[in-house]
Amino acid sequence: MFSPMPLKHKTYAGSKVNIKILSGTSNPVLAKEVADYLELELSPIKIKPFSDGELYVQVQESVRGLDCFVIQSTCTPVNQNLMELLILLDALKRASAGRITVVMPYFGYARQDRKAAGREAITAKLVADLLTTAGAQRVVALDLHAPQIMGFFNILVDHLYASPVLLEYIRSISKNDLVIVSPDVGGVRRARAFAKKLNDSPIAIIDKRRSQHNVAEVLSVVGDVRGKIAIMVDDMIDTGGTLVKGAELLIAEGASCVYACATHGVLSGSANKLLDDSPIEKLILTNSIPHLNDSLSPKIVQLSVARLLGEAIARIHDDDSVSELFE
């Protein structure tokens, strides 16, 4: 488990009356863990659907002039969770909240961050605009799919990384004979950052081509993996098809075993079945996206990011540095 630096905010203990932690329905367990870390209670919210599917949201205590942090992952069902978040932000704005910060362990619609073909939408920018219009004054995001998404906002964005949580588990696997593998060229920067924290371990890159959404062809491995423990590092795992093909290729190239880690476990479709049948020893994920334990493959290890998010919230509330968490 990630153990951040202890809370050192001299004003924090006396300022708890000025902060509120609120949660939508997308990831209540993680929100409760964050509140527990901060030694706070989640603010009561009434969220219920009308008969036609529209959502009703009411904050059930005063937030006037207070520092409000809303924890909501826009994961499956994406549209419902996003709309719920927007309505909750509007409710806080109309209740005269002092400052509204959205804490998004998982930022949905992030994969459409540019126009790759004609007549496509850039949904990451659209969501950024919607959050701002609804009332968000600051956003805390965990491992965005693309760093440039921070620039889509005209408000402050704190970009957190789950690497301290994941690295601690990776170190428990082995400290020697590791090779950090990027599943594509776009993830090389992430792989290098992991490798640097792991005694400057070597890296390798899987060359792949994506013919359509959720479909990729794995071609070759660039780098030496023979006889090494391969650690595949990515930001998210969706269907798992590319991950499994990459693992099979690494074994064929002589890797002694393969582990994989990612911040966000979308795990759509038959991802769990694919993982069960794959040569991957363990897939390490965070709880940025909730899953029922009995629905997960036994190969999956879930690590909590509650302390990381809680520490970031405390530092923002006390106007302290957030970047120090990763230095």
Q: Which helix (H) or strand (E) holds 68?
A: strand 67-71
Instruction: Give pLDDT, residue 215.
Output: 61
Compute the distance between CA of residue 321 and CA of residue 8 in angstroms, rounded to an integer: 11
Same CATH fold assignment for domains 13-161+306-326 and 163-303: yes
User: Among 33, 67, 3, 20, which residue's Cα sits nearest to residue 319?
Assistant: 67
Ordered DSSP codes for 254-305: T-SEEEEEEEEE---TTHHHHHHTSSEEEEEEESSS---GGGS-TTEEEE--
Q: Which fold has domain 13-161+306-326?
A: Rossmann fold (3.40.50)
Report yes or no: 280 and 247 within 8 Å, Cβ to Cβ. Answer: yes
Q: How many CB atoms lie within 10 A of CB 280?
A: 26
* Angle, alpha carbons 85-89-94 (nearest 5°): 150
Q: Where are the domains of the chain?
A: 13-161+306-326, 163-303
Residue by residue, DSSP assigns 44-63 as PEEEEE-TTS-EEEEE-S--
Whether residue 77 is preceded by a cis peptide bond, meaning omega within 30 degrees of 0, is yes
**Can you tell me the distance from the alpha carbon of 299 to that of 284, in angstroms, rounded to the nearest whole number?**
8
User: If the chain, 327 residues long, is cut into consecutive pieces of 10 residues, what is the mean pLDDT of each piece?
Assistant: 44 68 98 97 97 97 98 97 98 98 98 93 98 98 95 97 95 90 91 94 87 67 96 96 93 97 96 96 98 90 97 96 90
| pLDDT value, residue 185 | 87
| CATH code matching the domain that covers 163-303, chosen among 3.90.1150.10, 3.40.50.300, 3.40.50.2020, 3.40.50.150 | 3.40.50.2020
State how far the Cα of 19 lies from the Cα of 15, in Å rounded to an integer: 7
Length of the chain: 327
- Nearest to 43, CA basis, from 121, 7, 97: 97
Beta bridge partners of 232: 181, 260
- Rounded CA-CA distance 158/141 in Å is 6
Enumerate the H helices of 95-202 as residue ranges.
Answer: 123-134, 163-173, 188-197
Would you state the pLDDT for residue 212? 66
In this structure, are residues 318 and 311 in contact, taking their beta carbons and an 8 Å threshold?
no
Contact 203, 191 (CB under 8 A): yes
Under 8 Å between Cβ of 237 and 264: yes
- pLDDT given for residue 69 in this prediction: 98
Instruction: Quickly list DSSP for 84-118.
Output: HHHHHHHHHHHTTBSEEEEEESS-TTTT--S-SST
CA-derived radius of gyration, the chain: 20
pLDDT of residue 4: 42
Helix (H, G, I), strand (E, B) or coil at 35: helix
Q: What does DSSP assign to residue 43?
A: P
**Distance in angstroms (rounded) separating the CA atoms of residues 137 and 133:** 9
The pLDDT value recorded for residue 3 is: 43
